[in-house]
Chain A
């Protein structure tokens, strides 16, 4: 083999593979292996009971909704943080990371305290008929909160690296502001926005700590799939727990792979 221009290829690759194997692949393999011990009827019971189906539906719908809102809000916030200078911008920038740094249980308890029907925000919202605490809306809110930094942090660096003269050129060529945004800015940001969406989605699918405090955990209504995993574990049903976990894992993985594929297509299309 011809020696690589960049030195240390074998070492770098070897280290990477062992890190990924130790930290990610082995734990994942254990989960899938544990689940594979189930019989077909056991699998059906673990995944297709009305309770499991309801939990999956809630987890997927709430996660998609949360990631979608994060996508819009995150792109907007990233835009403001990159394009404008204002008093306290550094502080605001740091604040975006708080959901990542906060222990999820603290997030959950804080949200529950605020949005419970007796909480300060919950009381106001209840008067206009909006029930957040201990409802599916509460699940969505917690998931939106934990996914938000991903949406901002993926778009922000791309936006910062994108020189504003693209937009200026478009404007000088007579494009309206809306057209500049739609035809120039957003297409350039597309891959980053999609990545943010996928990361927020993957995070939301597996989120447990912050949700269980605000969801109320009612079977069939506000019980999320990760809580079902804990429920199965509590029954010493490791295989049932692993089966549910595998579904969530595969869903996350599919989302991430799909986004990667779309990005490559976009990149190829742009070069062509």
Chain B
């Protein structure tokens, strides 16, 4: 067994070498770990920010992006993906990086204005051309014969917003009756023929496979879909929906290690600047700065939005609706 040693040593050296090589490339590179639909947004924003940073400091900055399901991305960061900043779909996932990964303070949401959400979005309905099933609001989704496409809220961040938007409708339509809200979402999910694991999967099922009469989607995804397939789909803005606030945060421990704290902070703070807000608006996200609405070509319908605070924040909502045995699981209990 003595002879095993050189081989173990050799592989150890390879691993070590790779680690050192990574640590060397610090200072003016930044890693932004984000969720799926923001790929186009951050590609555009990174170019804008690089110009801004160059003008301010004279430094050239390279920003790397990583995209995937919000929860999976948070897990990667917890397990050692050295993100300087995270821009995810739900506060719950950044909370996990704080509580399980101990990589940033638990009050991270206070670091930037508006709960550290520089832009917002909401949940809307997408129907096929001409709206053949006459879908105008949430209530139409539980009609028999209407096939609804949404992802599994247990595996997708966007899908959790979808569920809560539907539940919020159920509550408001019944003047706050929890039992009726539950009956509503139960009926709605009975009309779901396919539960994809993430929001992009649902969009594919609806557009490429032609399954379903209505897709529950992020507003920015819906806008993107109607731009990509002009004339094929229509967006139906429901009377009530939910205010989705995708949060951003500096991963303190990693940024300090890379010496990028100042850069990371500016990268996120600049998301609130008028130029960036206009860009976010163009990309289909609702900017916080209302003054840019007039200049941006995206039209956002006015709709009445419930906030996550109505559910007691993400921790409470997660425990009540999406934990093991929670309300979402109860919908799928075998009928006794």
Contacts and interface: CB of A to CB of B under 8 A. Distances in A.
Interface of A: 10-11, 14-15, 17-18, 22, 45, 49-51, 109, 112-113, 116-119, 134, 212-213, 216-220, 227, 230-237, 240
A116 B211 contact: yes
A118 B209 contact: yes
Contacts of A227: 155, 197
The A interface, classified by DSSP as helix, strand, loop or mixed, is: helix
A112 B209 contact: yes
Nearest to B192: A218
Nearest to A54: B334
Given A217-B194, A232-B324, 5 more contacts: A22-B11, A219-B332, A227-B155, A230-B197, A240-B324
A134 B194 contact: yes
Contacts of A232: 324
B152 interface: yes
Interface of B: 1-4, 7-8, 11, 69, 71-72, 75, 96, 100, 152, 154-155, 193-197, 201, 204, 208-211, 322-325, 329, 332-334
A38 to B, nearest CB: 13
A51 B329 contact: yes
B334 A235 contact: no
B4 A234 contact: no
B288 to A, nearest CB: 29
B154 A235 contact: yes
Contacts, number: 85
Given A17-B4, A112-B209, A119-B209, A235 B193 contact: no
A106 B7 CA distance: 36
B15 to A, nearest CB: 11
A227 B196 CA distance: 11
A45 B324 contact: yes
Contacts of A230: 155, 197
30 contacts: A14-B4, A17-B1, A18-B4, A18-B7, A50-B333, A51-B329, A51-B332, A112-B209, A113-B209, A118-B210, A119-B209, A134-B194, A212-B196, A216-B193, A216-B194, A217-B196, A218-B195, A219-B195, A219-B329, A220-B332, A227-B197, A231-B152, A231-B154, A234-B69, A234-B71, A234-B154, A235-B324, A236-B96, A237-B324, A240-B324
Contact of B197 (A109, A134, A212, A236): A212
A235 B211 contact: no
A235 B323 contact: yes
B211 A236 contact: no
Contacts of A14: 1-4, 7
B8 A18 contact: yes
Contacts of B11: 22
Contacts of A15: 3-4, 7
Contacts of A10: 1-3
Nearest to A233: B75
Given A22-B11, A230-B155, A113 B208 contact: yes
Query: Which 8 residue pairs across A and B have the least CB separation, nearest first?
Result: A219-B332, A14-B4, A216-B194, A234-B71, A118-B210, A14-B3, A217-B195, A231-B154
B71 A216 contact: no
Contact of A11 (B3, B197, B324, B329): B3
A22 B7 CA distance: 11
B213 to A, nearest CB: 13
A213 B195 CA distance: 10
A109 B205 CA distance: 10
Contacts of A117: 211
Nearest to B8: A18
Nearest to B204: A109
Contacts of A50: 333-334
B334 A220 contact: yes
B10 to A, nearest CB: 10
Contact of B100 (A22, A49, A220, A236): A236
Contacts of B71: 233-234, 236
A227 B75 CA distance: 17
A237 B322 CA distance: 12
A240 B323 CA distance: 12
A213 B329 CA distance: 21
Nearest to A113: B209
Task: Report which residue of B3, B8, B75, B325 has the largest number of chain A beta carbons within 10 angstroms of its beta carbon.
Answer: B3
